[in-house]
């Protein structure tokens, strides 16, 4: 059967007419169906066939970039076209759409950014907010904005929310009592086996053992193992491979071991969608991505250690942590369900029933309640809707502390004026697909005429991996091998090159710049990267991002940049002068302008050295004590052996201790210019809406006590 015929057999297909009727008759529809029932791939096609795309695009958002790419590819295949024709995608730094495109898969972040230019989303006739159960930050923000747009837009507009499991009553009431369609899945029985111990620290080993045991003793059927991240997955895949190789020939059937995580190249990911060779069992070792957003067919056994890697941000301290935490009961149920899609299945939980019942929370805390709200607030402020972010209609509020923290930081970055309105600079920043600090640095760099270098730093910081095998420059210089033992030590010459770059003593950002420049001078040689322990793919990604950013700046032109920098962006985007420029610019060329631009962008993440001490204290509300991360690239000390008085940092992370991550030293006299901005921030006034709330309060008081109201009613322009 072709993909086109197969899709008609998905559980969602019999509901086609009901879906179309409901969407036709309502502005908002919620569709709930089990993972794998065909929501992501089929609904857009059904609507397209029913003519919903004749007046505008059908946009389907995905919280994950990789899901948008794979799904667009799949749907294009089902519709017999190339990606970029009738079906396309748009994600950060990459897009494939054309004039023919009718269905576009895009990340929720991309849709938010598109709204800044086109707040009515006039290009779209339908928006499907997919994977609503994931409650990603951007999807949550879109809930509130699109709910209002549905009512406000004159041109017809349909909003659809799709989800695996969901509190449908809560959703329906939030979305003006919209109808909820339930698509029953074809779920087979899944037998749940709890282990007798909780594998708190040895869950990777336990998962490996369990998977092997299933392979050796259970009837055919693919195995899906959930782990928390790339490093863990690579380790498990290696151990599994070794264990299988040690088994005597013919003692078990063939086993194909496949890793699956977001940072993996698409070609490799595609392997999990290809049918396995006859008589071969597949063992897929995946992150949470396989829990709901990607469905792998053929799975009969699930191994669930009950863990997930979760990012948490504490607004009071500005501290971030990435921790492995227990999943929620909803997630555990979701994972088990993955075993019952083709026949009766089994789920092996590497934790006790007691743990499931007493230690796991019912549902996961939505991202909006545990993340930095900076970017989201900048977008909300960037929309011409005069949104009071504190009083905004959130499905679940991020809380005033997180919002005030974001307002304060955006003010420090000059994105907001004292009354909390977005400034011209803020608009320029919001137009860039970068977090506000990097965006602010770029804009500042354009003014300082050091745009090429700032672009490099922004791109290098946007790449997930620069160094291969979990080693940083410090470990490389110390000649440490990587955790997996795959890569050996660097050659003497490579270490000398790295040492020379680090000798500059200006920390991580500048080292990133030097590495990129070195690679550029090598003619972007893959060998050069490998010799220095750099991840070739990561470096290429950075190069691509740099070009994309330059392209974007060149196109945005004077809206974002001063005239003279537009020309510079154009040159970089076209790639013509890159290498010549690199030759001209020796590594010793000054980077003071770049550092100053970084200071402006990271003024919200400044730290000051403690007197006569090498520890630092953050210069935010809750001055937090922190150390430079041991992996920080060399920073030169002064004659007294003391570290620079001021540094900017990329993140404040809490692991065993509190660390400043990715650091660049700053000259004290530059910081003097910035410091006043950090003091006396009037958050009440910044939050904008507070003034209206104050006015409302005043009006209420006025109604009760008239004479005092008269005294309060000062003429306009008099400071209160």
Ramachandran assignment for 12, one of left (phi > 0), alpha (psi -120 to 50 degrees), beta (any other): alpha
CA atoms of 12 and 555, how far apart (whole Å): 42
| Residue 74 near which of ligand CDP, Mg ion, none (CB within 5-8 Å, type-dependent) | ligand CDP
CA atoms of 720 and 714, how far apart (whole Å): 8
Cβ atoms of 64 and 70 closer than 8 Å: no
**Smallest distance from ligand CDP to CB 127, Å:** 16
Q: Which residues pair with 659 in a beta bridge?
A: 627, 653
The beta-strand segments (E) located in 151-292 are 158-163, 180-183, 190-194, 222-226, 254-260, 280-286
Cβ atoms of 80 and 4 closer than 8 Å: yes
Torsion of CA 10, 14, 15, 18, to 10 degrees: 160
- Binders in 2-31 for ligand CDP, by CB under 6 A: 10
**Smallest distance from ligand CDP to CB 39, Å:** 4
Return the residue of 22, 41, 287, 314 that touches ligand CDP, per CB under 6 A. Answer: 41
Return the residue of 29, 40, 107, 456 that touches ligand CDP, per CB under 6 A. Answer: 40
Q: For ligand CDP, which stretch binds (CB under 6 A), given 40-48, 454-462, 539-547, 699-707?
A: 40-48
| Residue 609 near which of Mg ion, ligand CDP, none (CB within 5-8 Å, type-dependent) | none
**Smallest distance from Mg ion to CB 636, Å:** 51
DSSP string, 505-558: -BHHHHHHHHHHHHHHHTTS-HHHHHHTTB-HHHHHHHHHHHHHHHHHHHHHGG
Tokens of 348: 């092996």
- Binders in 245-274 for ligand CDP, by CB under 6 A: 273
- Binders in 277-336 for ligand CDP, by CB under 6 A: 295, 297
CA atoms of 424 and 444, how far apart (whole Å): 13
CA atoms of 441 and 429, how far apart (whole Å): 9
- Binders in 54-83 for ligand CDP, by CB under 6 A: 70-71, 74
Report strand pairing: 658-666 vs 646-654: antiparallel
Beta carbons within 8 Å of 697's beta carbon, 6+ residues apart: none
Which residue lies nearer to Mg ion by CB, 34 or 504? 34
Question: Binding residues for ligand CDP, how many (CB under 6 A)?
Answer: 16
| Residue 38 near which of Mg ion, ligand CDP, none (CB within 5-8 Å, type-dependent) | ligand CDP
Give ∠ CA 582-583-587 in degrees, rounded to 5: 70
Report strand pairing: 158-163 vs 124-129: parallel
> Is residue 334 at the binding interface for Mg ion, with CB under 5 A as the rule?
no
Which residue lies nearer to Mg ion by CB, 39 or 235? 39
Alpha helices for 433-479 (secondary structure H): 436-447, 451-462, 473-477
Return the residue of 19, 23, 32, 33 that touches ligand CDP, per CB under 6 A. Answer: 33
Which residue lies nearer to ligand CDP by CB, 226 or 519? 226
Which residue lies nearer to ligand CDP by CB, 41 or 369? 41
Which residue lies nearer to ligand CDP by CB, 138 or 295? 295
Which residue lies nearer to ligand CDP by CB, 60 or 413? 60
**Smallest distance from ligand CDP to CB 38, Å:** 4
Q: For ligand CDP, which stretch binds (CB under 6 A), given 32-40, 219-227, 344-352, 535-543?
A: 32-40
Return the residue of 28, 30, 31, 39 that touches ligand CDP, per CB under 6 A. Answer: 39
Q: Which residues pair with 161 in a beta bridge?
A: 30, 129
Q: Which residues pair with 182 in a beta bridge?
A: 32
Which residue lies nearer to Mg ion by CB, 183 or 422? 183
Return the residue of 35, 110, 288, 371 that touches ligand CDP, per CB under 6 A. Answer: 35
Binding-residue pattern over the window 421 to 460 for Mg ion, x denoting contact by CB under 5 A: ----------------------------------------
Binding-residue pattern over the window 34 to 53 for Mg ion, x denoting contact by CB under 5 A: -----xx-------------
Contact residues: ligand CDP, CB under 6 A: 10, 33, 35-42, 70-71, 74, 273, 295, 297
Residues in contact with Mg ion by CB under 5 A are: 39-40
């Amino acid at each position: 059967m072709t993909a086109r015929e197969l899709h008609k057999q998905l559980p969602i297909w019999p509901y086609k007419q009901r879906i179309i009727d409901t969407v036709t008759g309502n502005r908002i529809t919620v569709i709930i169906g089990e993972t794998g029932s065909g929501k992501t791939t089929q609904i857009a096609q059904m609507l397209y066939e029913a003519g919903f795309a004749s007046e505008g695009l059908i946009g389907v958002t995905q919280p994950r970039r990789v899901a948008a790419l794979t799904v667009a590819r799949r749907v294009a295949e089902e519709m017999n076209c190339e990606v970029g024709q009738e079906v396309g995608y748009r994600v950060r730094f990459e897009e494939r759409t054309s004039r023919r495109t009718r269905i576009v898969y895009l990340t929720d972040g991309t849709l938010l950014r598109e709204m800044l230019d086109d707040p009515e989303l006039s290009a779209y006739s339908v928006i499907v907010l997919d994977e609503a159960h994931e409650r990603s930050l951007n999807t949550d923000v879109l809930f509130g904005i699109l709910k209002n747009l549905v009512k406000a837009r004159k041109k017809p507009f349909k909003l659809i929310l799709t989800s695996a499991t969901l509190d449908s009553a809560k959703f329906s009431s939030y979305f003006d009592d919209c109808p909820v369609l339930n698509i029953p899945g074809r779920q087979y029985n899944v037998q749940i086996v709890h282990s007798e111990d909780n594998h708190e620290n040895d869950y990777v080993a336990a998962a490996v053992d369990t998977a092997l045991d299933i392979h050796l003793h259970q009837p055919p059927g693919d195995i899906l193992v959930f782990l928390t991240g790339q490093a863990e997955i690579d380790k498990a895949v290696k151990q599994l491979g070794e264990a299988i190789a040690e088994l005597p020939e013919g003692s078990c059937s063939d086993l194909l071991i496949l890793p699956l995580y977001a940072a993996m190249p698409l070609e490799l990911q595609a392997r999990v969608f290809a049918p396995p060779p006859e008589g071969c069992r597949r063992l897929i070792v995946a992150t949470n991505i396989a829990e709901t957003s990607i469905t792998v067919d053929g799975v009969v056994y699930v191994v669930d250690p009950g863990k997930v890697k979760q990012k948490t941000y504490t607004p009071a301290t500005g501290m971030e942590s990435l921790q492995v935490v227990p999943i929620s009961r909803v997630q555990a149920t979701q994972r088990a369900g993955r075993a019952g899609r083709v026949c009766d299945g089994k789920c092996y939980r590497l934790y006790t029933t007691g743990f499931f019942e007493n230690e796991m929370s019912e549902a996961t805390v939505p991202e909006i309640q545990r993340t930095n709200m900076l970017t989201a607030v900048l977008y909300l402020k960037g929309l011409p809707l005069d949104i009071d972010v504190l009083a905004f209609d959130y499905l679940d509020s991020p809380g005033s502390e997180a919002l005030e923290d974001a307002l304060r930081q955006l003010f420090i970055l000059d994105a907001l004026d004292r009354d909390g309105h977005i400034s011209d600079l803020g608009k320029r920043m919001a137009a860039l697909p970068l977090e506000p600090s990097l965006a602010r640095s770029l804009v500042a760099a354009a003014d300082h005429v050091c745009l090429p270098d700032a672009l490099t730093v922004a791109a290098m910081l946007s790449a997930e991996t620069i160094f291969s095998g979990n080693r940083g420059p410090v470990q490389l210089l110390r000649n440490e091998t990587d955790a997996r033992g795959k890569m050996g030590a660097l050659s003497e010459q490579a270490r000398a090159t790295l040492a020379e770059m680090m000798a500059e003593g200006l920390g991580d950002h500048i080292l990133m710049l030097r590495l990129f420049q070195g690679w550029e001078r090598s003619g972007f040689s893959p060998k050069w990267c490998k010799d220095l322990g750099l991840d070739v793919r990561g470096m290429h990604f950075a190069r691509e991002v740099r070009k994309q950013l330059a392209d974007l700046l060149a196109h945005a032109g004077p809206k974002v940049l001063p005239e003279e920098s537009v020309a510079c962006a154009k040159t970089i985007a076209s790639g013509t002068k890159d290498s010549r420029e690199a030759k001209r610019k020796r590594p010793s060329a000054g980077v003071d302008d770049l550092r100053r631009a970084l200071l402006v962008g990271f003024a919200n993440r400044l730290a000051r050295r403690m007197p006569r001490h090498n520890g630092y204290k953050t210069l935010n509300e809750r001055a937090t004590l922190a150390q430079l991360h041991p992996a920080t690239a060399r920073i030169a000390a002064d004659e007294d052996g003391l570290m620079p008085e001021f540094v900017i940092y990329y993140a404040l992370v809490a692991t065993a201790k509190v660390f400043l991550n990715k650091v660049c030293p700053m000259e004290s006299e530059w910081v003097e210019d910035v410091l006043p901005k950090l003091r006396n921030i009037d958050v009440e006034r910044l939050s904008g809406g507070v003034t209206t709330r104050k006015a409302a309060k005043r009006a209420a008081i006025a109604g009760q006590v008239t004479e005092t109201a008269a005294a309060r009613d000062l003429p306009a322009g008099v400071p209160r």
